Every structure is written in structure tokens, then in C-alpha cells.
Amino acid sequence: MRLVGEDGQQIGIRTLQEALNLARAAGRDLVEVAEAANPPVCRIMDYGKFKYEAAQRAKESRRK
């Protein structure tokens, strides 16, 4: 899978186990962002924060 770091920097092609180990070492989650791509793209991020920010953006767009 293609791995992207927290800051958006390309880490490269890694195996699932390597990607999980990197995410755990950083204390973050491994989230698949593009499953249809070849190879699939995953990102190391804080998933709870991501969901919260997405909800805030959706709420703001509904207001407008």
C-alpha cells in the first residue's frame, strides 16, 4: 500500500504490517483514504480528530 504521513508527506510503498507498526509507533491510526487506487492509499492520522473536523465542516456548510 502507498503510505502518507501525518503531514501529507509521501512515505512510500509499504506492507500492511510495516504501515501498522509505523502508525502505532506514532500513536496514531492507519486510515485507508483511497481503496480503489492501485496500490491502495493509507494515511497515518488521528481518526477521532478527522471525524470531528469533518462533522464541523458539514455543519458549517449546512448553515450556509
Residues in the chain where the model's pLDDT stays below 50 = none
Q: Tell me what pLDDT residue 64 has.
A: 79
Q: Tell me what pLDDT residue 24 has.
A: 95
pTM of the predicted model as reported, rounded to 2 decimal places: 0.78
> What CATH number corresponds to the domain at position 42?
3.10.20.80
Question: What distance in Å separates the CA atoms of residue 62 and residue 59, rounded to the nearest whole number?
Answer: 5
Mean pLDDT of the residues in the chain: 93
Domain membership of residue 21 as a residue range: 2-63
- Domain tally, the chain: 1
